[in-house]
């Protein structure tokens, strides 16, 4: 399977990428709690709740799960597991939610398992080598892959580079579809979960990739 290289997209843009940076998610979560904020952003919370309803009763794996809060939401209605590149995150997630299985998975490496439904919620914007990441995700799912990522069609996002220093690159829907390649993809609004087109400004955009 050959996926498109985002460097080809970059050549036609003045858009600049940020360097990939490691996030201390536990410290970040504590800071948000101390500031009286929820740990998950509202958009992430809604996405996980919508996916839990949509995939009710199905097997779901949450790749790039961070501290496992979204995975736990999924597990209320699905048979969910989670993985993250950070051993620290996995240990914390397992401590918070011991009934959910968590393990380490670096998405730049292949996973021999095959999950019916594989999720990567707010993940690809944080990582270099996105074509490799998407290829590995597609190889590890047998039914559907769900991606969500900021939608650069929305003018609230930085148009010359990501405003969020932890985002390597943010994409338009057309760019994400180019990265996914020859698969049927349904674009969904994060709040209504209704189907939308590539011109939509809904952010983060959800991409339901059908195998």
Task: Identify whether the C-beta of residue 34 lies closer than 8 Å to the C-beta of residue 173.
Answer: no
Task: Identify whether the C-beta of residue 173 lies closer than 8 Å to the C-beta of residue 148.
Answer: no
Q: State how far the Cα of 138 lies from the Cα of 171, in Å rounded to an integer.
A: 19
pLDDT in tens, the chain (211 residues): 445 555 445 444 566 777 766 777 667 765 665 666 666 778 999 999 999 999 999 999 999 999 999 999 999 999 999 999 999 999 999 999 999 999 999 999 999 888 999 999 999 999 989 999 999 999 999 999 999 999 999 988 877 888 888 889 999 999 999 999 999 999 999 999 999 999 999 999 999 999 9
Q: State how far the Cα of 21 lies from the Cα of 7, in Å rounded to an integer.
A: 19
């Amino acid at each position: 399977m050959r996926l498109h290289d985002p460097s080809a997209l970059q050549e036609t843009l003045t858009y600049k990428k940020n360097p990939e940076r490691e996030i201390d998610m536990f410290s970040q979560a504590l800071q948000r709690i101390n500031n009286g904020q929820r740990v998950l952003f509202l958009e992430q919370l809604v996405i996980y709740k919508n996916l839990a309803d949509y995939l009710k009763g199905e097997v779901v794996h949450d790749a790039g799960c961070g501290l496992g809060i979204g995975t736990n939401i999924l597990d209320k209605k699905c048979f969910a597991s989670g993985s993250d590149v950070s051993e620290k995150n996995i240990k914390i997630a397992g401590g918070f939610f011991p009934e959910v299985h968590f393990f380490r998975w670096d998405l730049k490496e292949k996973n021999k398992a095959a999950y019916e439904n594989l999720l990567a919620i707010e993940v690809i914007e944080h990582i270099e080598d996105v074509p490799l990441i998407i290829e590995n995700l597609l190889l590890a799912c047998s039914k559907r892959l769900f991606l969500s990522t900021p939608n650069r069609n929305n003018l609230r996002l930085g148009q010359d580079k990501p405003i969020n220093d932890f985002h390597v690159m943010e994409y338009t829907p057309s760019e994400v579809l180019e990265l996914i390649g020859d698969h049927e993809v349904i674009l969904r609004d994060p709040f209504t979960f209704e189907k939308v087109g590539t011109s939509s400004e809904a952010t983060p955009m959800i991409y339901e990739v059908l195998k």
